[in-house]
Amino acid sequence: MDEQRIQYLISGFLEGNLSAAEMAELDDFLIDPANRETFVATASRLTEEMQEQAPFDESLEPVLSRVLDVDRTPVTRPGIVPFRFSYWRVAAVVVLAAGIGGYFYWSHNTSKAPQLAQKEAATPAAILPGSNKATLILEDGTTVSLDSTGNQTIRQGNTIVQRNNGQLLYSGQPATAKLSYNILATPKGGQYQVVLPDGTKVWLNAASRLKYPVAFTGSERLVELEGEAYFETVKDAHKPFKVKAGEFEVQVLGTSFDVMAYKDEKNTHTTLISGAVKVASEKESRLLQPGQQAVVNTNAGIGVNTVNTDEVIAWKNGYFSFRDADIAAVMRQLERWYDVTVSYPSGIPKGTFSGEMGRGLTLSEALKILEQTNVNFKIEEGRHIVILP
């Protein structure tokens, strides 16, 4: 894309007058991290040229301070023009992009300036982000809490499980061919990693559950998943690796992929990062290529789309990434990671979010960023979020 076209799109975005096709063109441009830097520089320059400027919103200072402390990245504070939504929007975009290398906006235009929700001091105690915590359920029903840091050795017959700062590592083989299973379960606000007996690495997202044998002794390597996990499997042509998730099954030989199968999502998704996988339901099966995502719906069957895999596995790499996601989809991810509940007393706001933000922010910090995009929140006692009209 030539420089003149880039400036036209960014300028139109600031003014809030891009067509749907032009907005889609800008979205595609922003997929490349290098292009986001161009966006930030151009948007910052154009914002500074605005004749009417208001002081930087100091309520964002705690968020920026936290970001700067982590990334050591200097941030240029753009001005914010009141009463024009497009300028409020770009201020949030530029601040976020300069601070954490991302971008964020709400694509539902309105002339109303966003009203900031209550200040930090008026909310309940800070709700911290999720961390490495889970429960391991052994074959005999014994539960082992994995919430604390440090190392631990768990013995199950001839199988040894080592716990080391957020990761389980299985080694050894049982003396008999009888299958015995463990279950690794993460709560809301938790995540964990496990290296299975064959060397396959699994990253388990919040509110997820993985059932697997302590040794793969049969003709296949079958695990069962509820929730979301990222897999890096070890290749074994004679013993295929399979993931059963609800009504469908993923079969692989050696590959990396993500499976998202939460019960509160209407569709389940399998995204292939490398290698090849086959996604099968009772009625059909589809073979995926890297960069493709299978969307399984009980009523509509299996559809295949091409996706940005970095966005799909953003959770594994420590950040949220949204692309044309409605507020309900955004909040479902926040519910799982921060262990909160959400209500919409005035209905679910229309429009879609696109952007990124780190998973290391407190809940209040994350909501403060989202508030800059014209959606307002209130945190109540009992870890509950209310979406305000």
- Residue-wise pLDDT tens digits, 298-310: 787 899 999 999 9
- 216: which residues sit within 8 A by CB, 6+ positions away? 196, 197, 198, 239
Considering the domain architecture, whether residues 104 and 29 belong to the same structural domain is answered as yes
Last residue of a domain, one of 162, 193, 218: 218
Based on the number of CB atoms within 10 Å of its own CB, is 22 exposed (0-12), middle (13-18) or buried (19 or more)?
Answer: middle
Q: Does residue 314 belong to any structural domain of this protein? A: no
What is the identity of the amino acid at 31? I
Q: What angle do CA 318, 287, 221 make, to 5 degrees?
A: 70
Does residue 357 form part of some domain?
A: yes
Average pLDDT, the chain: 79
SS3 of residue 88 by DSSP: helix
For residue 327, pLDDT beyond 60: yes
Asked if residue 312 is part of any domain, the answer here is: no
Which of the listed residues 307, 334, 360 is the one where a domain comes to its end?
307
Confidence of residue 53 (pLDDT cuts 50, 70, 90): very low
User: Is 37 part of any domain?
Assistant: yes
What pLDDT is stored for residue 61 in this prediction? 46
Which CATH number is 112's domain given?
A: 3.55.50.30
Number of domains in the chain: 3
Are 113 and 175 in a shared domain?
no
Query: Between 186 and 48, where is the model more confident?
Result: 186
Lowest mean pLDDT among 52-61, 298-307, 316-325, 349-358: 52-61
- Is the same domain home to 95 and 170? no
81 and 58 in a single domain? The answer is: yes
Buried b (16+ CB within 10 A) or exposed e, 259-288: bbbbeeeeebbbbbbebbbbbbbeeeebeb
Please give the distance of CA 45 from its chain centroid, rounded to a whole number: 31
Lowest mean pLDDT among 107-111, 219-223, 366-370: 107-111
Higher pLDDT, 274 or 30: 274
205 and 232 assigned to the same domain: no
Q: pLDDT of 258-272, one tens digit each?
A: 999 999 999 999 999
At residue 349, the pLDDT reads 87
Together in a domain, 10 and 113: yes
Domain assignment present for 20: yes
Q: Are residues 109 and 92 both part of a single domain?
A: yes
Query: Which of the listed residues 195, 218, 241 is the one where a domain comes to its end?
Result: 218
Residue 63 or residue 328, greater confidence: 328
Specify the pLDDT at position 173: 65
Residues 214 and 224 in one domain: no
Instruction: Give the pLDDT of residue 353.
Output: 81
- Residue pair 209/185 in contact by the 8 Å Cβ criterion: yes
What CATH number does the domain containing 228 carry? 2.60.120.1440
More reliable by pLDDT, 68 or 247: 247
pLDDT recorded at residue 343: 97
Query: What is the average pLDDT across 2-17?
Result: 81
Q: Are residues 202 and 228 in the same domain?
A: no
Tokens of 214: 């302590």
Residues 213 and 259 in one domain: no
Start-to-end CA span in the chain (Å): 39
What's the CA gap between 36 and 250, in Å, rounded?
Answer: 34
pLDDT reported for residue 105: 53
**Residue 67 sits in which domain range?**
3-120+321-388
329 with 344, same domain? yes
In this prediction, residue 12 carries a pLDDT of 80
Element (H, E) at 27: helix 20-29
Q: Output 49 or 303, whichever has higher pLDDT.
A: 303
One domain, residues 258 and 332? no
Task: Mean pLDDT check: name the lowest of 84-98, 159-173, 291-305, 348-362.
Answer: 84-98
Q: Which residue has the tokens 């004749």?
A: 51
Give a yes or no: residue 340 inside a domain. yes
Q: Evaluate whether residue 315 is within a structural domain.
A: no
pLDDT band at 33 (very low <50, low <70, confident <90, very high): low
